[in-house]
Amino acid sequence: MLKNIPEVIPPELMLALMQMGHGDEIVIGDINFPSYTMSKRCVYTKGIRATEILEAILKLMPLDVFVPDPVNVMTPGELYEGTPPIWSEYDRIIRANDFSGAYKEMKQMERFAFYERAKNSFVAVQTSEDALYACMILKKGVIGEFSGK
């Protein structure tokens, strides 16, 4: 057991976060995202919502200040009207936990472009999130002078 590690982070995810380097990307997938098809490495978090995983990850990992868009979300398809409600939750969580100061806004990516980018991710986290269009990609920043810590 360790202190100060969010309890929603399973050991496999902690290992992946520790092994990630600057510029590596992590996918947070909703319940419908094909994580095991899209990424070389997957961690399944049964019963955990994407918002919980996002907040826990950001308590440990800085976002990349050297890129304009360290946070990317999947754009809804043509049949979906409006903005997915979970995006406002994501925005609130990121603004409250981005200790690097890298976050400005979420960049939207078309579904298949998102899938292609996910294939190059370091790890995908399969959550039990059932909100539509709850998938996102985070780019890891640096620890030190530019991390805010």
Task: Give the C-alpha separation, 57 to 118, whole Å.
Answer: 17
The predicted pLDDT at position 146 comes to: 60
Which residue, among 131, 143, 140, 55, has the nearest Cα to 91 in the 3D structure?
55
The single residue of 22, 44, 69, 91 carrying the catalytic annotation is 22
CB 98 within 8 A of CB 63: yes
**Domains of the chain, earliest start first:** 11-60+73-139 (3.40.1650.10)
pLDDT in tens, 70-106: 999 999 988 888 999 999 999 999 999 999 899 999 9
- pTM: predicted TM-score of the whole model, two decimal places: 0.94
pLDDT in tens, 10-60: 999 999 999 999 999 999 999 999 999 999 999 999 999 999 999 999 999
Sole residue written with tokens 């409006």: 82
The single residue of 64, 98, 103, 133 carrying the catalytic annotation is 64
Bridge partners of residue 73, in order along the sequence: 108, 136
Task: Give the C-alpha separation, 99 to 114, whole Å.
Answer: 25
Q: Judge whether 115 counts as a catalytic residue.
A: yes
